Amino acid sequence: MQLVHDKHVHTRFSNGCPQTLELVCPHCLKESSFLPKSWHEHGRQVAVAEAPCSRCEDNVLFLQLLEDSNGIHKAAELYLHPPSTARDSVHGLEHLAALSGPLGRTYESALKLYNQTEWGASALMVRHLLEGLATRLLPDDKRDLSLPRQLDALAEVDLAAPLRDIAGLLAPDGSFGREFADEAAIDQATAGQLLELTEYLIAYLVVLPGAMAELKSRIATAPVPLRRSNTG
């Protein structure tokens, strides 16, 4: 089973179950429409429906978890089967869109081309995305550099600001530092925020460098693709 993000659901029935979905088909890997018509509820906990892909016509099974609150069913998590091999968008994409709307759309285009198996076009779009991102983050005097030199110059951008923000929050007079003075007064919301902050810090300091090192190793050991000859 694979989680289906809410952005793929365009319309819903009155009971909260999806009526129209737009997503990459797990069978043909093309952007397709799905119109599940008959949802069958089981034990007031799940609802199940099948719908054919608008392109290849193969069926996809959808399973909707339901939350029952005072007898009113509200839409919760949605899953599909079989799981798709397509890539989904990165978590937190809204922050890229907030930085630059065009960059957000460029990323979505690169992802869409990848999922459509347009490898070359996707790679070119990724290059445009990297160039746009570097240009957006670098000062004016470095925006005309080549992409490799732009990426080198990004090391000069202040990437330590998140760490300073966290340090301020945990200082004795910071938002969290004051809470530590009375452990019994810490409520669920505060504990959850502190845990979330720590998870971001782990991702920033540990997960990201480790994942980048692993990716670099895979790239270094990957076979070099043969170039197509222009002669003939």
What does the domain layout of the chain look like in residue ranges? 2-81, 87-157, 158-219
Contact 34, 21 (CB under 8 A): yes
Contact 104, 97 (CB under 8 A): yes
Contact 1, 81 (CB under 8 A): yes
CB atoms within 10 A of CB 150: 19
Residues 134-149 have pLDDT tens digits of 999 888 888 888 988 9
Residues 164-212 have pLDDT tens digits of 888 888 888 887 777 777 777 788 888 888 888 888 888 888 888 899 8
